């Protein structure tokens, strides 16, 4: 957002009660303030992948498809899912002997952008053009590479011609439509600078950017996003007229804001740590509803494999053997957050137990470090033959109490095997928006992946998904992991339609993940959602689909 606009927004905030979080003409009972621990790095639907952004977009920008709280794929901006059975999906034979698929989607009748402009097939074509451009910086560039062209059948119907027929062929969750009438001039003026010049960054209050039950009325970077009911929304009318998503990056301050009435609820995937929530429930459980939702949120360490130490598998294995993760789960999380062996949760139907497990074994850790050339020095810490210490930088989101506690625990555990850790944290919008997404960390990054059911990890593990300046920093393989065996497994897994053969491929992928450690697993989260007792209808999904996609059902209990 340009500095002039931001100063104006801050001035407005100072002039209104509650730091600009309330609008004078909204009845108090129709306003909801949600507390989250991160501010989105961007509000562009297709650039960057961040849970905070997904939460806001669930209110204001509906996807074509996404998994619902029942973990089944559903339409949000289309009339119905195209399938091979109903003829909406037509498999195709390709010259290379592989199979593709033509997918025809009909846009939900009556769907309009927030300025009243109809959502049309031309928006689909434009979105595809942005995604295909090598400098656009979209998050899932692989999806756009696969869609070789878009055919417009009429204003409300289009066909995506994909070069790959995979088992999730009709899930186009990453194909979030963009308003061509607003964004095309910005994009065509300078595609390489589009990620910074898009109206989603420079003028997010523009109503025509949004296609959901709410519109962004105010976005103050680092502070809050205020949304108001969309008068042109064609679906079920939400009860609330105004929702403020307020970012408070320190989770202790977030808890205090809830108790002070500055926020009404705390979102689980971006809220209090489990230990905080357990303590909060003991003290204040009568005044709030606390729900612990197990899900597909995977907390892990992302190693920068270009670092010579972390690029050595023996060092990564030693770091894993040096951790008592069972003690971490029991001491910090009361055993509610199970230790992870790979990135695939036991809740996922494709989970496999046939993998290497790294139980605490400091003798094995020491053996591996010795073998890798890191010897114990006179001070008890590891160093190489040149006398350089084995020191790693560990980064995460500043102000997140749980992650900061985990960092300190990791630091203490690894010191016992002679590894020094230097902690350096950043605000979430910087950490995710710049440091991680542009691979500017040089050690270990601590954060979580939130996935959908049976989500093939192409963007995070395939060698073709390493972000760089050459590809506009698209892709999510931030570690820089390259293994032809993993690439081949991902390629084979995606196109395997037979359930049992796919299960076998999933088992092989998990086994390789545990052996190779492209990332270092910690635990799967159970997210604590905290609501006021008067709120009903909120249904956490437990996966990548944001809880806000069901906002039309949220209401006060007395409002029926």
My answer on whether 192 and 298 are in the same domain is no
My answer on whether 236 and 301 are in the same domain is no
pLDDT for the residue 274: 84
Separation of alpha carbons 524 and 336, rounded Å: 9
My answer on whether 65 and 164 are in the same domain is yes
My answer on whether 124 and 197 are in the same domain is yes
pLDDT tens digits for 505-518?
A: 999 999 999 999 99
Q: In what helix (H) or strand (E) does residue 274 lie, and over which residues does it extend?
A: helix 274-284
My answer on whether 238 and 313 are in the same domain is no
3-state secondary structure 404-468: HHHHHHHHHHHHCCCCEEEECCECHHHHHHHHHCCCCCCCEEEEEEECCCCCCCHHHHCHHHCCC
CATH code at 145? 3.40.190.10
With respect to residue 396, please indicate whether it lies within any of the assigned structural domains.
yes
pLDDT band with cut points at 50, 70 and 90 for residue 559: low
pLDDT for the residue 312: 98
Percent of the chain with pLDDT over 70: 95
- Helix, strand, coil share (%) of the chain residues, nearest 5: 35, 20, 45
pLDDT band with cut points at 50, 70 and 90 for residue 26: low
pLDDT tens digits for 388-415?
A: 999 999 999 998 888 999 999 999 999 9
The rounded radius of gyration (Å) of the Cα atoms in the chain is 24
The domain tally of the chain equals 2
pLDDT for the residue 400: 84
Q: Is residue 3 scored above 60 in pLDDT?
A: no
pLDDT for the residue 558: 78
With respect to residue 213, please indicate whether it lies within any of the assigned structural domains.
yes
CB 10 within 8 A of CB 18: no
Q: Is residue 9 scored above 60 in pLDDT?
A: no
Single residue among 190, 212, 247 that ends a domain in this structure:
247
With respect to residue 171, please indicate whether it lies within any of the assigned structural domains.
yes
My answer on whether 233 and 334 are in the same domain is no
With respect to residue 268, please indicate whether it lies within any of the assigned structural domains.
no
Entry pTM: 0.74
CB 83 within 8 A of CB 169: no
Separation of alpha carbons 135 and 77, rounded Å: 27
Separation of alpha carbons 62 and 325, rounded Å: 38
C-alpha of 267 from chain center:
14
pLDDT band with cut points at 50, 70 and 90 for residue 22: very low
Single residue among 192, 222, 247 that ends a domain in this structure:
247
Task: State the average pLDDT over residues 321-337.
Answer: 90
Q: Is residue 21 scored above 60 in pLDDT?
A: no
Q: Considering the chain, what is the average pLDDT of its residues?
A: 91
3-state secondary structure 325-339: HHHHHHHHHCCCCCE
Percent of the chain with pLDDT over 90: 77
My answer on whether 222 and 305 are in the same domain is no
My answer on whether 317 and 396 are in the same domain is yes
With respect to residue 258, please indicate whether it lies within any of the assigned structural domains.
no
Q: Is residue 302 scored above 50 in pLDDT?
A: yes
pLDDT tens digits for 119-129?
A: 999 999 999 99
CATH code at 330? 3.10.105.10
Tokens representing 382? Answer: 């590891």
With respect to residue 429, please indicate whether it lies within any of the assigned structural domains.
yes
Collapsed DSSP state (helix, strand, coil) of residue 63? coil
Q: Which residue has the higher pLDDT, 519 or 278?
A: 519
Q: Is residue 24 scored above 60 in pLDDT?
A: no
With respect to residue 451, please indicate whether it lies within any of the assigned structural domains.
yes
pLDDT tens digits for 33-63?
A: 999 999 998 999 998 878 899 999 999 999 9
pLDDT tens digits for 447-491?
A: 999 888 888 999 999 999 999 998 888 889 999 999 999 999 999
With respect to residue 243, please indicate whether it lies within any of the assigned structural domains.
yes
pLDDT for the residue 25: 59
Judged by average pLDDT, the poorest of 15-19, 116-120, 316-320 is 15-19
pLDDT for the residue 452: 81
Q: Name the residue range of residue 91's domain.
A: 3-247
pLDDT tens digits for 166-212?
A: 999 999 998 999 999 999 999 999 999 999 999 999 999 999 999 99
pLDDT for the residue 199: 98
443-to-143, 187, 300, 313, 420 alpha-carbon distances in Å: 29, 35, 13, 14, 12
pLDDT for the residue 503: 95
Task: State the average pLDDT over residues 256-271.
Answer: 95
């Amino acid at each position: 957002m340009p500095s002039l606009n931001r100063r104006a927004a801050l001035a407005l905030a100072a002039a209104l009660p509650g730091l600009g979080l309330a609008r004078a003409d909204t009845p108090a009972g129709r306003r909801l303030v949600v507390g989250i621990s991160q501010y989105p790095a961007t509000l562009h639907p297709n650039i960057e992948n961040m849970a905070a952004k997904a939460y806001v977009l669930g209110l204001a920008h509906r996807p074509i498809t996404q998994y619902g709280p029942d973990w089944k794929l559903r339409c949000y901006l289309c009339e119905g899912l195209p399938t091979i059975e109903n003829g909406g999906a037509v498999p195709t034979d390709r010259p290379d002997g592989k199979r593709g698929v033509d997918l025809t989607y009909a846009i939900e009748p009556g769907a309009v952008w927030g300025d009243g402009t109809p959502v049309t097939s031309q928006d689909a074509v434009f979105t595809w053009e942005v995604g295909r451009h090598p400098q656009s910086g979209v998050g899932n560039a692989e999806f756009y590479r696969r869609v070789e062209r878009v055919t417009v059948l009429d204003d409300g119907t289009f066909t995506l011609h994909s070069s790959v027929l995979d088992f999730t062929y009709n899930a186009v969750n990453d194909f979030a439509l963009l308003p061509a009438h607003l964004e095309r001039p910005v994009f065509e003026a300078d595609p390489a600078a589009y990620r910074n010049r898009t109206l989603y960054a420079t003028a997010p209050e523009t109503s025509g950017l949004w296609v959901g039950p709410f519109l962004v009325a105010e976005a103050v970077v680092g502070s809050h996003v205020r949304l108001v009911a969309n008068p042109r929304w064609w679906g079920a009318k939400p009860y609330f007229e105004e929702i403020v998503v307020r970012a408070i990056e320190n989770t202790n301050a977030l808890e205090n804001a809830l108790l002070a009435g500055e926020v009404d609820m705390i979102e689980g995937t971006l809220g209090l740590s489990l230990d905080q929530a357990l303590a909060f429930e003991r003290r204040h459980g009568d005044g709030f509803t606390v729900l612990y939702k197990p899900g597909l949120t995977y907390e892990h360490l992302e190693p920068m494999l270009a670092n010579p130490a972390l690029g050595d598998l023996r060092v990564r294995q030693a770091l894993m053997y040096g951790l008592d993760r069972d003690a971490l789960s029991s001491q910090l999380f009361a055993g509610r957050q199970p230790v992870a062996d790979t990135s695939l949760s036991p809740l996922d139907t494709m989970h496999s137990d046939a993998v290497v497990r790294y139980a605490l074994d400091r003798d094995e850790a020491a053996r591996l470090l010795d073998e890798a050339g890191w010897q114990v020095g006179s001070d008890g810490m590891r160093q190489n033959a040149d006398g350089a210490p084995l020191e790693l930088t560990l980064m995460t989101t500043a102000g997140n109490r749980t992650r900061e506690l985990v960092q300190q625990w990791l630091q203490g555990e690894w010191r016992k095997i002679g590894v020094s850790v230097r902690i350096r944290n950043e605000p979430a919008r910087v950490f995710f928006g710049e440091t991680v997404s542009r691979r500017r960390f040089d050690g270990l990054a601590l954060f979580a992946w939130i996935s959908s059911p049976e989500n093939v990890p192409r963007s995070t593990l395939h060698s073709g998904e390493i972000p760089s300046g050459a590809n506009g920093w698209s892709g999510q393989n931030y570690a820089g992991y390259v293994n032809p065996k993993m690439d081949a497994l991902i390629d084979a897994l995606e196109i395997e339609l037979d359930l049992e053969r796919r299960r076998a491929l999933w088992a092989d992928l998990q086994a390789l993940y545990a052996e190779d450690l492209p990332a270092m697993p910690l635990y799967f989260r159970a997210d604590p959602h905290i609501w006021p007792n008067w709120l009903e209808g909120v249904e956490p999904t437990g996966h990548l689909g944001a809880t806000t996609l069901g906002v039309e059902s949220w209401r006060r209990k007395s409002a029926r």
